Amino acid sequence: MNNPGRAAVQIWAAGTGGGHLSVAEAVATAISERSQGTVSVALDDPVEDPIGRTARSLARAYGPLVRTSPALWGVLFRGFSKRGLSSTMDRFLLRQLAPAMAARTQARAPRVIVNCHPLLGPAASSAAQAARVGGFTPALITVMTDLVGGHQGWLAPRPDAILTATSEATDWCLNHGVPADLIRQTGLPVDPRLGEGAADKSHRRSARRELGLNPELLTVLVGGGAEGAGNLRHLARWLGASGLPLQAVFACGNNRRLQGWLSRRQPQSVATLGLSYQESLTPWLRAADIYLGKAGPSALAEAAAAGLALLVTDSLPGQEENNGAAVVAAGAALEIHGRRELLEIMRRLCLPADPLLGQLQRGALTWARPGAALEAAEIILAFLATGHSETRLQARSAAG
């Protein structure tokens, strides 16, 4: 967590995967830009503080679990997405996290609290109540980091506004009883720089040159989220031996074994590069033509904002399993099943005369919301300007 200090806006996120934190960072940056630095923002991660030992252990088990046992993760996710077990988890996390989170919120004294994680809502709400001063309670805004929805944690307790990424996520909220006047469909917040020059091939070539890549080769960014999950070794073998005129960059995240394995491989017919964990993949996304890999919400949203063709190979059970179908339906992606299909599609994408690459890139740009973080920032700043109870009424009126 950041050092204690007052902040007008406090954002809660946790490092289980990279998506929650990347969304929170995009929102924090957008608030600072929109307010020209006049609004102080604090981004807090309760898992980083020495608070609940068991909660920290659970959070740190996320990476190894999704890398080695995704099916088990899916069972756990679905179980704790059900109302009964979700309430049990809420009570556990309240005991583990609420005291330290309340102390941090009291030190921050924010006017608006933003929650970017489905398991932090109850503790964030409890912290807001504990920080109540002079009859004023900070507004609570939820930013859903799922593309389609599915985790009960987003719904309890009910915030003053809930920001959704897609029409599917909005429908999911409506179907679960969230009043329409509390929902604002902004898109999933991403780094706004991703959209700069996204449709310009010369920008991609310049970005490749700056990163030491071959500027003229078709470039594939292969991703498995912050934990380097998914079938990345298979993809490396298949692409590496394909002989296709392309280069592949593997975003290994926290998967050091994968990065080491890539570095030890004999030279392949296709150049491959393994990246360690990056604070931001923006420079690499702006250099690539294609995103290939897991259907993580932030990965898809960021790649689409950068105008990349999206090829979805797999997904985490539960939280990501419907994401691929959503971007395929939007005309932004193809789902890939196995080596043969991957190589057939990649051959087409390497052919200058084949329209498939351009079609997918245009579809991605149409689906993308590169300004989502700035739109979310404007909503948060509106709450900050008018106060808790007034803004609730204003937001309901505007949404209706």
CATH number at residue 252: 3.40.50.2000
Specify the pLDDT at position 83: 58
Contact partners, residue 363, CB within 8 Å, separation at least 6: 330, 331, 332, 333
Check whether 227 has a pLDDT greater than 60.
Answer: yes
In a domain, 4, yes or no: no
Structural domain tally of the chain?
Answer: 2
Same domain, 74 and 202: no
Same domain, 340 and 385: no
In a domain, 2, yes or no: no
- Which stretches within the chain are classed as H helix? 19-34, 53-68, 70-81, 83-108, 121-130, 167-175, 201-210, 232-240, 256-264, 282-287, 297-305, 323-329, 338-350, 356-367, 372-386, 388-399
In a domain, 207, yes or no: yes
Residue-averaged pLDDT of the chain:
85
Same domain, 294 and 394: no
Specify the pLDDT at position 242: 95
Specify the pLDDT at position 95: 66
Same domain, 176 and 200: no
Please choose, from the candidates 206, 271, 213, 212, the residue with its C-alpha nearest in 3D space to the C-alpha of residue 245.
271
Instruction: Taking residues 113-129, report their average pLDDT.
Output: 87
Packed helices 232-240 and 256-264: angle between N→C axes, nearest 10 degrees: 20
Least confident of 91-95, 265-269, 368-372, 379-383: 91-95
Instruction: Taking residues 126-144, report their average pLDDT.
Output: 82
Specify the pLDDT at position 70: 57
Same domain, 57 and 102: yes
Same domain, 73 and 155: yes
Same domain, 225 and 325: yes
**Distance between CA 281 and CA 61 in Å, rounded?**
24
Q: What is the value of pTM for the model shown?
A: 0.87
Specify the pLDDT at position 225: 81
Same domain, 107 and 175: yes
pLDDT digits (tens, 9 = 90+) for 24-52: 999 999 999 999 999 999 999 887 655 44
Specify the pLDDT at position 224: 86
What is the percent of the chain with per-residue pLDDT over 70, rounded to a whole number?
81
Contact between residue 43 and residue 148 where contact means Cβ atoms under 8 Å apart: no
Specify the pLDDT at position 174: 95
pLDDT digits (tens, 9 = 90+) for 247-279: 999 999 888 999 999 988 877 889 999 999 888
In a domain, 80, yes or no: yes
Specify the pLDDT at position 46: 82
Specify the pLDDT at position 393: 38
**Distance between CA 32 and CA 220 in Å, rounded?**
33
Specify the pLDDT at position 308: 97
Same domain, 163 and 229: no
Check whether 394 has a pLDDT greater than 50.
Answer: no
In a domain, 340, yes or no: yes
In a domain, 233, yes or no: yes
Contact between residue 23 and residue 192 where contact means Cβ atoms under 8 Å apart: no
In this structure, what are the phi and psi dihedrals at residue 12, rounded to the nearest 5 degrees?
Answer: -105, 135
pLDDT digits (tens, 9 = 90+) for 144-196: 999 987 777 888 788 999 999 999 999 999 999 999 999 999 999 999 999 99
Specify the pLDDT at position 93: 62
In this structure, what are the phi and psi dihedrals at residue 314, rounded to the nearest 5 degrees?
Answer: -165, 180
Same domain, 98 and 13: yes
Least confident of 66-70, 173-177, 199-203: 66-70
In a domain, 3, yes or no: no
pLDDT category at 11 given cuts 50, 70, 90 is very high
In a domain, 1, yes or no: no
Contact partners, residue 61, CB within 8 Å, separation at least 6: none
Same domain, 128 and 255: no
Same domain, 24 and 143: yes
Edge-first strand order for the sheet with 183-185 is 41-44, 9-12, 112-115, 139-143, 161-164, 183-185
If phi over 0 gives left and psi between -120 and 50 gives alpha, with beta otherwise, what is residue 188? beta
Q: Which two tokens stand for residue 135?
A: 């009859």
Q: What is the DSSP string of 22-37?
A: HHHHHHHHHHHHHTTT
- What is the DSSP code (8-state) at residue 147? S
Write out the residue range of the structural domain in which residue 83 sits.
Answer: 9-190+371-399
In one letter, which amino acid is 51? I
Q: What is the DSSP string of 289-352?
A: SEEEEE--HHHHHHHHHTT-EEEEEE--TTTTTTHHHHHHHTTSEEE--HHHHHHHHHHHHH-T
Q: How far is CA 203 from the centre of its chain?
A: 24
Instruction: Taking residues 199-223, report their average pLDDT.
Output: 95
Tell me the sheet residues that pair with 115: 12, 142
Instruction: Taking residues 67-93, report their average pLDDT.
Output: 57
